Structure 1
Amino acid sequence: MGFLRAGQRAVRAAAIFSTKHTSCLSTKAPHPGTKNILLMGPPGAGKTTVGRIVARRLGLPAVDVDDDVLEPTWRMPVAAKLAAVGGERFLEEEGDALRNFSASGCVVSLTGSNPLHAAAMQHLTESGLVVYLDVDSEDIIQRLTRMKVNRIVGQEAGASMRDILLYRKQFYERWVDVRVLCGTGDTVEEVAEKVLQAVDRYQNQAGESYVSTRSDGEGSANQKSFFSDVVIEGLASDGGLYVPEKGFPVLSAREWLRLVDLSYPERALLILEKCIHPLEVSASALREMTFTAYGSNFSCEAVAPVKHLMKNQFVQELFHGPTASFKDLALQLMPRLFAHCLPQMCNYLILVATSGDTGSAVLSGFSGLSGVDRQRTGVLVFFPEEGVSEIQKLQMTSFREGNARAVSVRSDFDFCQRAIKRMFGEAGLTGHLAVEYGTVLSTANSINWARLLPQVVYHASAYLDLCRDGVVQFGEPFDVCIPSGNFGNAMSAVYAKQMGVPIRKVICASNHNRIITDFFASGEYDLRGRRLTPSESPAIDILKSSNVERFVHHASRGDGRLVRELFSRLDAQQHFQVPERLLRRMQQEVQAGWCSEDDCLAAIRSVHTHTGYVMDTHTAVAKVVADRLQDGSCPVVICSTAHYGKFAPAVFRALQIQNVPEDPVEQLRTLASTARRPEIHRDMMRRLQESVRGHTVCTAEYGVLVEEVEAMIHDCFLRVL
């Protein structure tokens, strides 16, 4: 079967890249419709050998720039030319030679230094697809040592080979169309196969479509949705949630090991490249977005560090972003992806329902856009007036001007979420907004695929940190324990496992509202007569968990008809029961438990007493459930989803601190003097110091929320300046 698939890829790629082979090299421009495959990478990456294998598999001519272009042009060996003219002059003459080079329908192996000459590379890229052989630097150095190469072009005296390879990486990533991530120890045959797969993927964009969780697979092929579509639409037209039709790509162990010593932005880039088709978001654009999203806006250089807590328990701190919650890990990137995917003709208003942390994170993310992107997007957040902490409220309501605003509602999160879903589902309303105001509605809740996808990265990164620190060897399992409300965080862990991260169990932790716990225990999702009870962990005060639908779709192996039936019943009757066989499959991947308010506060006090570490109330819920459900046979990473300062009054009660200051800023300072770790959160403190009290409060009426939407559209897009 593997040989058959490889053969099919070769036939398809050859059909795309082929041309008459009588004269591959020419002084004429390539024929329309013919493309080269340009292999790029550092010296020692294996470009020449891999190029010959790929060319043979595709039945195309192979061109080696050193042997077939430079040496015939100069009439001397490349090494002799370098010795004669020196590094800088060599790069110029190499670039000049390439600017006169033309080929069509060939597999071209570039030199390691070609990408350093911008004009030459601009010329080359017009002729074909640039495939970057991303080989580990240590592998490169070992190969060059065996080849007795101790200096390469551009390496000045005193500069190490490792430094020059690192310097060159920026140029490879500037010109790349498709990256081939080479695992340590990959053979040239394996790399050649990856090149064929990469070329095939690039040309087969239709293979990376998305479907609704409620799709029965009988729709027209012409109605396929792609990444840009699902980012903009948010919710599928049938009320379902979008998922990749063919699931997630799987990284091999050797590919994962390449990521162990990388920074968080580098890990994120390589994982996201596997999940987002390069014709949707180019490699260079994705790199710029990713490094901007996870840069100086995070108060910790590690972005999402994993720290030892006690015994075999570790905590992943997901709160170092600008709003001090895990939502920043998605919402510093998602607005950039959203703006990139926007059609040119419309304005977009992002509607968000939040139980606390999502609100400030989405406001921060979208307010960070600039230029035209900022002018064409607005964000309106609805949150329950009595359902968030005072600090969360101040964070959200501090956004008062520009394209981002928060409004509270005298109800709970579920009402806010239902109202937004109703707006999306009313064709009369969405049509009116489009025709009257040229504005389209979208969402940044975790129902939006671009919100969920970046969260996959930090679960993978947690495991890579454990590997880097010697806690586990790659392949050894670990568990994750996640405070779960809307189930998006847990669902992203399930997807990380699909990609090859060896997660044994995803453990979901609930407070006394415990809807997730009951569902995984019985297979019954029952909202009949169930009331939401506010807690000290408000981000998980949710009864209707949107991403449970994605999990049921996953566990049922894509049975869209069953998903549609179950969730339509939930909408109509507030209840459904999954079949017993499906329940057993669900329980194989996910465990769930809950804890009381007293147990939550007691856990904060106990951990602080024994370690000096202060947890927020959501992390404490996860700690209690991990203690009860995790068997200790492998490490468990507890997702710390928010900084303790966001829930200061509850933490004061847990630590039994008297004489609590009334001012939120003073509360944070007092707590910081008590906690040995983690440190005070700089951006949250700054935002609170700048905040002004007072905000709009709405009654719990659908029509009133619609009026707020229209008012926001007027303020964002129709105001005369």
Structure 2
Amino acid sequence: MNLLYKSTRSNDKTVTASQAILKGLAEDGGLFVPETLPALNVSMEALSKMSYQEVAYEVMKLFFTDFTEEELKNCIAKAYDSKFDTEEIAPLVKADGAYYLELFHGSTIAFKDMALSILPHLLTTAAKKNNIKNEIVILTATSGDTGKAALAGFADVEGTKIIVFYPKNGVSPVQERQMVTQKGKNTYVVGIKGNFDDAQSGVKAMFNDKELAGKMDQKGFQFSSANSINIGRLVPQVVYYVYAYAKLLADGEIKDGEKINVVVPTGNFGNILAAYYAKNMGLPVNKLICASNENKVLFDFFETGKYDRNREFILTSSPSMDILISSNLERLIYKIADNDAAACKGLMDALAAKGEYTITESMKEQLADFAGGYASEDNTKEAIKSLYDKTGYVLDTHTAVASYVCRKYKEDTKDETKTLVASTASPYKFARSVMTAIDPSYDAMSDFELVDKLCEISKTAVPNAIEEIRTASVLHDTVCDKTEMKAAVEKILAI
């Protein structure tokens, strides 16, 4: 039976999975959600004997029901291959009583690779299924990691172009260098004078611009998205939570059916939403712990039921979480509003108009699955140093936020449930912040001296993604004001 998708803001239209992947964003500005969340129909015992690719098929086939078995397995095989530097794809490391799920072994050393390795294949397959003749233009905003992972995934993919906007002074030096050195005839990178929320709002506005859509169609183009607003990004993220549980079972770390807690460093909410979807599909999860940095809009939401982006935007050492408008939260709001699209639209309209909204008491009661926590910059540094001193294991700045929140949650609640921490980026991606947390004297070193020192103290190999940019030439140097994003796109596409 086909699982259909509808918008979080209206119930009048349904689309297939492939259509939802192609569109990225619904025409009314809402996000596509499945009409029902499917239940896992394979036992954990069976999943525990499967490879990552096999687990991916068992999960994704439940969501992408209009893809044939051959089509989906082909997409999975092309995505999860030798571009990952470990055979397991997502290894588990036990350190100081928690299980770190390493999601950074792909070609751009961040968790976005887990979904953006497969999205281009899902998208091009979806285009063929729907007889799309237009060239697909991937339009994406990034807070640092999505951009490079999307660029790498779509580089030179036939029938596509990709345009990435990023905040010029709001990403790490390595993140920026990874993007501006990206090869590929169909890749375009634009820095904006503004923050991530400005970039994300500009991209959403272009998706909803009917005049722009008309001009593009005349020239043979149409937009799609690689951000986690695309259901083709979100569903592959569900996979690694199911895989991690199955792996813990296979390793004898948990018993079948034993509940675990999951801690996720969170900015745009997609990664923790994937864990919530996994729980709703039947994965034995107790608490979903949402870890914020000093931009703690999500922590405040879980504490009070009020979402308020009217606050100072803080640049931190965990830039991929420097976000005040968490787009994927809309999918959760829709779910806890009992799939009431009108209620969800009202709250999203309030957010757009006033920068805030407050959920009802009955909606708040449905957030019992979640707990929130946040880490200051000092807490983040301390988490990196203390875990390294204790175990020799080195965390990046985002995972360190989750590590601190995990430890504090255990101290405050005395909850001894075994805990999975989503480790979202390689420490090499944020070498300066990581190394100066371990020893402030390292700050005198150059960026690549720090990389080599990190290799020495962590006893891990420098990833290819870092080696590649040591001497790579800058290929993208366009910068525009946040108000000029549409003009930049029109110039790139010559429309």
What is the distance in 2 between the residues matched to 1:660 and 1:531?
A: 27
What is the distance in 2 between the residues matched to 1:518 and 1:668?
A: 36
1:654 aligns with 2:430: no
**C-alpha displacement of 1:641:** 0.1
Which SS does the other structure have where 1:284 is aligned?
A: helix
Q: How does 1:528-607 map to 2 (within 5 A)?
A: 528=310, 530-586=311-367, 588-607=368-387
1:673 aligns with 2:456: yes
The CA RMSD measured in Å over matched residues stands at 1.6
Which SS does the other structure have where 1:375 is aligned?
A: coil
Paired residue type of 2:315 = P
Of residues 17, 22, 38, the one that matches 1:227 is 17
Specify the alignment match of 2:114 in structure 1: 329
Q: Higher mean Cα deviation, 291-300 or 554-563?
A: 554-563
Q: How does 1:93-104 map to 2 (within 5 A)?
A: none
Specify the alignment match of 1:4 in structure 2: none
Q: How does 1:107-256 map to 2 (within 5 A)?
A: 201=1, 205=2, 208-215=3-10, 217=11, 219=12, 223-251=13-41, 255-256=43-44
Matched length: 489
**C-alpha displacement of 1:643:** 0.2
Tell me if structure 1 keeps the 8 A contact 2:198–2:482.
Answer: no
**C-alpha displacement of 1:681:** 4.2
Tell me if structure 2 keeps the 8 A contact 1:324–1:681.
Answer: no
**C-alpha displacement of 1:273:** 1.6
**C-alpha displacement of 1:659:** 4.7
Deviations 1:551-608 (A, max 9, x none): 111222212121011111111111111011211211x111111010001001100000
What is the distance in 2 between the residues matched to 1:585 and 1:596?
A: 28
Paired residue type of 1:407 = V
What is the distance in 2 between the residues matched to 1:468 and 1:226?
A: 35
Which SS does the other structure have where 2:236 is aligned?
A: helix
Q: Aligned pair in 2 of structure 1 residues 230, 612: CA closer, same or farther (>3 Å)?
A: same
Tell me if structure 2 keeps the 8 A contact 1:506–1:591.
Answer: yes
Deviations 1:495-546 (A, max 9, x none): 1111111011110100111000000100101123x12110000010000000
The runs of at least 4 consecutive aligned structure 1 residues that moved more than 6 Å come to none
Deviations 1:297-356 (A, max 9, x none): 100111111111112x11000000000000000000011000111133101110110000
**C-alpha displacement of 1:618:** 0.4
Identity percentage over the alignment? 35
Tell me if structure 1 keeps the 8 A contact 2:194–2:482.
Answer: no
Of residues 50, 54, 78, the one that matches 1:266 is 54
Specify the alignment match of 2:283 in structure 1: 501
What is the distance in 1 between the residues matched to 2:373 and 2:279?
A: 21
Tell me if structure 1 keeps the 8 A contact 2:181–2:475.
Answer: no
Paired residue type of 1:618 = H
**C-alpha displacement of 1:684:** 1.4
What is the distance in 1 between the residues matched to 2:14 and 2:362?
A: 31
Deviations 1:38-65 (A, max 9, x none): xxxxxxxxxxxxxxxxxxxxxxxxxxxx
What is the distance in 1 between the residues matched to 2:245 and 2:107?
A: 24
Specify the alignment match of 1:37 in structure 2: none
Specify the alignment match of 1:284 in structure 2: 70
Of residues 114, 120, 138, the one that matches 1:350 is 138
Q: Higher mean Cα deviation, 558-567 or 479-488?
A: 558-567
TM-score (norm 1): 0.66
Name structure 2 gaps, 5 residues minimum: none
Which SS does the other structure have where 1:319 is aligned?
A: coil
Paired residue type of 1:230 = A
Of residues 188, 203, 207, the one that matches 1:420 is 203
Which SS does the other structure have where 2:44 is aligned?
A: helix
Tell me if structure 2 keeps the 8 A contact 1:250–1:498.
Answer: no
What is the distance in 2 between the residues matched to 1:385 and 1:415?
A: 11
**C-alpha displacement of 1:210:** 0.5
Tell me if structure 1 keeps the 8 A contact 2:436–2:443.
Answer: no
Which SS does the other structure have where 1:699 is aligned?
A: strand
Name structure 1 gaps, 5 residues minimum: 1-200
What is the distance in 2 between the residues matched to 1:248 and 1:681?
A: 40
1:628 aligns with 2:416: no
What is the distance in 2 between the residues matched to 1:573 and 1:540?
A: 22
What is the distance in 2 between the residues matched to 1:541 and 1:686?
A: 27
Specify the alignment match of 1:30 in structure 2: none
